[in-house]
Structure 1
Amino acid sequence: MAEGSATTQAAKRPVGAPVSSRDWRLDFWRGLAIVFIFWNHSVNNVMSWLTTKNYGVSDSAELFVFLSGFAMASMFVGKFLDRPIMAIPYGFQRAFTLYLHHIAAFVVIATLAVLYREYAGSSIMERDLFVRPFLVATETVLPKLATLGYLPPLLDILPLYILLTIMVGVLFWLFRDRWFFYAAFAVGVWTWAQVSGATLSSYPDTRLWTFNPFAWQAVFLAGFAIFLAREEPWFRNVMAAPAAIALSITIVILAFIAAAPWATLGLYEWRPLRFITDIADKANASPVRLAHFLAMAHLAALFIRKESRLGDTLLGRSMVLIGRKSLPLFVISTVFAAMSHGVFDWFGHGVVTQVTFSLLGALILVGLAYVSEELRTTKRVTPARAPTGAPAPQPREGAPVVPANAPPAPRRS
């Protein structure tokens, strides 16, 4: 009966439709995070009010890093579980790809900053994006750029991801699919970073990494460990427990009150839980921020199921396609955010300019995602056909006629 049902389902599936067990929600949230990061990183952009930035104590950075760890675990388990040693060279290979994207992003942003100065007579992009030191002291700054010791604004997530990718390749060789070891490692290193104050510096030496890698590895490994534990009965029970749901709702409400968006808008200066935002240190991955993000992720996973029709909508499909090409489109969105400094300087910082630029950038990202998907599908190999008019080969007289879809005959030993 089950076999017949599977045959029926396969028959109903459109010809050529891909069969994948990948949860579309992973790509959807990654795509949405990229758009949110673009809007949040544009200069004082009114569109940031459509993101989570002003409604709690965490933002799209946690979402992006957490999902990167979740996706990495999915890929590692599928490819390297039987040969975990191969995760190490893959980690270095992937890190090198990220490194090239990081350098390319800087070159493009620096070029745009110089062109804007030459064309508009304004050095606002060079100043705001911290490009000027590279131009006036190239011999000093270039080696630091090459060794991730010079991180201008907007170019701080990929260096973090580079280190985390190398780290998780080694950890997978050691821990494989045992989620508890990743959780213990994450907590241990995070605690050591908080107690010792360990972090990395950036040029000039008085500047620090925006994302302390010794602390933010906990966010990345939280996603990695949760993927590994997601099918455990205890984990499913916790996710569905009324007490856990109530706790997540409480955390989200308290974070909303702490963020006090009404005060940010200048409507009413009332911040009863301001102490929460005071301890929500982004650079060192405050547990307050992680707890808020995990609470939102918990509720999102409960209310947006895999079978939800959101993935079939234009918005859902667009975000999924962006999420599938997260690396190049993230780099492009970073360039767009850098361009906002020049665009808003040239056209003014009015609401119409902000909304137009933000929506146009998002539409370009969606268009590039669709083009990339079309290019991917056209790369599929199609069977060669005989030239038009060529006679079809005829079977030899007396030879049995074999249907085209018949399985191959067993080979004689």
Structure 2
Amino acid sequence: MLNGRDPRIDFFRGLALIFIFWDHVPHNPLGQITLRNIGFSDAAEVFVFLAGYAAVLAYGKVLQRDGYWIASLKILRRAWVLYVVHIFLLAMLMGIVFFANSHVETRDLVEEMGLTHFVTHPQQALTDELLLRFKPNLMDPLPLYIVLLGGLPLVLPLLLRQTWAVVAVSLSVYLLAPWMGWNLRAIADGVWYFNPVTWQLLFVLGGAAAIHARRPHPAERRALLRQPLFVAAAGYSLLAAIITLAWRWPEVHDALMPAWLSERLYPISKTDLSPVRLVHFLALAYVTAKLLPHAGWTRHWLAQQTCRMGRYSLEVFCLGVLLAPLADMLNALAGDALAMQLFSALAGVVLMGALATWLEFNKRLDSRLQARRSLPTSSLNR
């Protein structure tokens, strides 16, 4: 049965949201400590993988309890909510960017955010927005999630019964997509920045991990350093970190990297989820799962705040998208002073955490009111 909630998933979803916000603010010094600086993958892989994990965990339980059609209806209803949120979020983002651009004289934030298409062709841009073809900077993850979630009813029953068969088909599509040129059309780059035909593999793997995690497994008694898969995953993660850090010093990178390896390694495509990115994320996820097998550490206060953000990932993500251009504006007005950069980065996270706290307070309040209404009248009059 797919039941229960792992607070570690909420924690890493919340941490990914923090990293995404920091990565979206140009020249942010705290962006130097995010995942993309210590390996080939970044917070986007974490977000998509855990989205698949959470979706299969939630809707798999609905399918087992209420049947396929009810589960499909709830999935498609959620996808529709995400679509409406996407349209509303894009409208708010454009308003904020235009406001910020009117206050910053040294840069063209409209162009940097990819909103030139709306300025030059507003009517066509509105149509492209409804078709998910107009996606300015910061807006790519949500349309990807909409498409992946919309396709979940097609694979969920098979994923629950024949998990590895679905993974094999998903892997085949992933390998064929770059060779065949499969992607969706979009404005600016011509195709989606996050190719859903390749990124679907990470979503499916997240769902497969959720199913695998709910099955009983014998305890591993060997030390981690005696487990070949752990050693290989840790070694690859360390190698990726060394190469990524070497990018900061091109002369060091060129000295360390032989020509034959560079030819095979680069370019590392994020659009098509390059195999080295995919393997790096899977290796990092495996090492993390082995090093943190229990959830007791999530009870600490700071971890609890991060977990709360992960529980309300959609709302917190949307707020982070809106806060990023505002933080960029404040930094530009202050001449990109280090103190302001640190303040805007930390203030944004505080606001994201405050939103999650407010949402949880309202949820608990609604639960108490509902429980109170369900009590018999005689009990309330005592």
TM-score (norm 2): 0.88
Query: Which position in structure 2 is the counterpart of 1:255?
Result: 240
Query: Which position in structure 2 is the counterpart of 1:286?
Result: 274
Q: Deviations over 1:265-285 (max 9, x none)?
A: 679555624726514321101
Output aligned runs, 1:232-243, within 5 Å: 242-243=227-228
Describe the shift of the 1:271–1:295 C-alpha distance in structure 2 as closer, same or farther (beyond 3 A): farther
Who wins on radius of gyration, i.e. which is larger? 1
Letter in 1 for 2:208: A
Q: Contact 1:57 / 1:277 at 8 angstroms: preserved in 2?
A: no
Larger deviation, residues 39-48 vs 173-182:
173-182
Q: Structure 2: how far apart are the matches of 1:85 and 1:277?
A: 45
> 1:180 offset after TM fit, Å?
1.2
Query: Which position in structure 1 is the counterpart of 2:115?
Result: 131
Describe the shift of the 1:231–1:152 C-alpha distance in structure 2 as closer, same or farther (beyond 3 A): same
User: 3-state SS of the aligned residue for 2:134?
Assistant: coil
User: 3-state SS of the aligned residue for 1:43?
Assistant: coil
Query: Which position in structure 2 is the counterpart of 1:320?
Result: 307
Query: Which position in structure 2 is the counterpart of 1:245?
Result: 230
What is the identity percentage for the equivalent residue pairs of Structure 1 and Structure 2?
A: 25
Question: Is residue 48 from structure 1 mapped to residue 51 from structure 2 by the alignment?
Answer: no
Describe the shift of the 1:293–1:209 C-alpha distance in structure 2 as closer, same or farther (beyond 3 A): same
In the alignment of these two chains, the number of paired residues is 368
Letter in 2 for 1:378: L
> 1:263 offset after TM fit, Å?
4.2
Letter in 2 for 1:255: A
> 1:229 offset after TM fit, Å?
2.3
Q: Deviations over 1:111-140 (max 9, x none)?
A: 012223444557622111122321331111
> 1:217 offset after TM fit, Å?
0.4
Letter in 2 for 1:280: I
Q: Structure 1: how far apart are the matches of 2:283 and 2:159?
A: 27
Q: Contact 1:84 / 1:176 at 8 angstroms: preserved in 2?
A: no
Q: Structure 2: how far apart are the matches of 1:234 and 1:287?
A: 28
Q: Structure 2: how far apart are the matches of 1:89 and 1:387?
A: 37
Letter in 2 for 1:314: W
Paired residue for 1:108, among 82, 86, 92?
Answer: 92
Paired residue for 2:19, among 22, 29, 36?
Answer: 36
Q: Structure 2: how far apart are the matches of 1:78 and 1:288?
A: 33
> 1:314 offset after TM fit, Å?
1.8
Larger deviation, residues 217-226 vs 235-244:
235-244
TM-score (norm 1): 0.82
> 1:194 offset after TM fit, Å?
2.2
Query: Which position in structure 2 is the counterpart of 1:188?
Result: 172
Query: Which position in structure 2 is the counterpart of 1:223?
Result: 206
Q: Contact 2:104 / 2:332 at 8 angstroms: preserved in 1?
A: no
Q: Contact 1:130 / 1:152 at 8 angstroms: preserved in 2?
A: yes
Name the one with the larger helix percent. Answer: 2
Letter in 2 for 1:157: P
Q: Structure 1: how far apart are the matches of 2:125 and 2:62?
A: 39
Question: Is residue 159 from structure 1 mapped to residue 143 from structure 2 by the alignment?
Answer: yes
Q: Deviations over 1:368-394 (max 9, x none)?
A: 111111111111223477799x7x6xx
Query: Which position in structure 2 is the counterpart of 1:299?
Result: 287
> 1:353 offset after TM fit, Å?
1.8
Query: Which position in structure 1 is the counterpart of 2:124?
Result: 140
State the Cα RMSD in Å: 2.7
Query: Which position in structure 2 is the counterpart of 1:348?
Result: 335
> 1:44 offset after TM fit, Å?
2.5
Q: Deviations over 1:138-176 (max 9, x none)?
A: 111110011011111111111111110011122114444
